[in-house]
Structure 1
Amino acid sequence: MLAAERREYLLGLLARTGKIVAKDVAAGLGLSEDTVRRDLRDLAAEGRCQRVYGGALPVSPAAADYGARQAVAPDGKRAVAAVAAGLVRPGGSVILDGGTTALAVARALPEDLACTVVTHSPTIAAALIGHPRAELYLLGGRVYKHSAVTCGAAAVEAAQNVSAELCLLGVTGVHPDAGLTTGDADEAAMKRALSARAADTYVLASSEKIGTASPYRVLPWDAVTGLITDADPHAPPVRSLRALGVNVLTAG
């Protein structure tokens, strides 16, 4: 089998099963594991899969820049946002992460809602300026432009001085095996810091993120209260998440 044929086979397998185990593929094709791993490295370098220990997973489409992501699955993000916004009670407090789905949540909050919003996203803060009864706290730090959020040591330190009832957290990848992931190490650390300051954390994930992975792990499943997604509840990754005991709230 030529290299190009092997790679097309690997991509087909990834699409059918949602993951690649290098040793199993090598045994099935009569190849060395090194050959399969080399193919996976090449595919990962092209952005066509996410390498993990022992194999590969589908790559998250949320790896695109902020502007491009705003055009990805807008209906799904609005459906997720509607459910998430309903969790913010009058008089309550919420830590709202950055990203395009969190921005949809900010836009879904009723304009007359009296609440406290803590965020590290200038775009989230700007979206809530017209909400007269919402108290806004913006955490400062280095701006990570990919997600239009602050992160780094200063932002993490600022997060440690706030608290809230609820944290609504965005991620780029949601996978039963890889867990909750994102594309930047500092951003992952900031998400952990935000989640640690809330009584309950719900993950926001429109359907295109389900079953995919990014390089950096954010949180284990037992650290979150639930997952809000518009993905088909009968889809294999969603069934696997429920089997793990994840509380999945279906949007849409």
Structure 2
Amino acid sequence: MNQIAPEQLAQMLGVPLFNTPYFIPVYPSGDQGSWRLSHMASGIDFGYYTRQWLISGMPLLMRHAPGNPEQWETWMSLTPHEIESQEPGCLCAHGHTVIMGLGMGWVALNAALNPAVRKVTVVELDEEVIKLISASGVTGQLPPEIADKIVIVRANAMEWQPDEPVDFLYADIWRPIADTNALADTQRMQQNIQATEVYFWGQELRLFTAHQRMFGPDAPLGVEGLRHCASRELSLPLVLPWGDEYPERITAAVTNRQVRGLPMEERA
């Protein structure tokens, strides 16, 4: 039976085929200890800010479920939701950028491609996932001068301290984007690192709830109000991507979660 091309399937379903201007490396399938790189079949996925997209053949990183080696849990995938929610880690990176959590290495690769970035330090504790991503050869798909920017350090993200100043910290060590520990974990990392600017995965959800606490549930989101929330409620020097468009993106991310019946916070 002939397979339907993704473009044709998207047209048949009336759903746009997802594409991104960011670099998507070729990930070979493979295992390393508790970790696995694989690829998903065609399906429909929500973006983080945007609505439904058709996806096809997207790579994903899975890990054995705790206590059940027969079951696999997805830890990261290059779906619209993941790419859109991690985009600020690439867009806002500059100078010496520190990335907490290797994942599939996608943020590190695209941060290194940012001309404003001098060095990318990736902090990852799990030796098996480091070996898996290293063996995948994704860094070798970059120009050598770009790949040379990336340094992987095996260390605990909650304890690691830099030996040189850090301009931008991107924190993403959690499986769910709304992990209840994300804010406290990022605050602890920042105490050790003292980065000039910080972005943590899913911060839009925390900024939204902080804005409601500070200004009331009916107050319109604005950049100045979000800055107050970042400094006073979240106690972090957060970068607010996209300028005046950021409040609209936050609203879209929250609306998507509400439409899908997803919580604003959840335990891993």
| Common fold by TM > 0.5 | no
TM-score by length of 2: 0.39
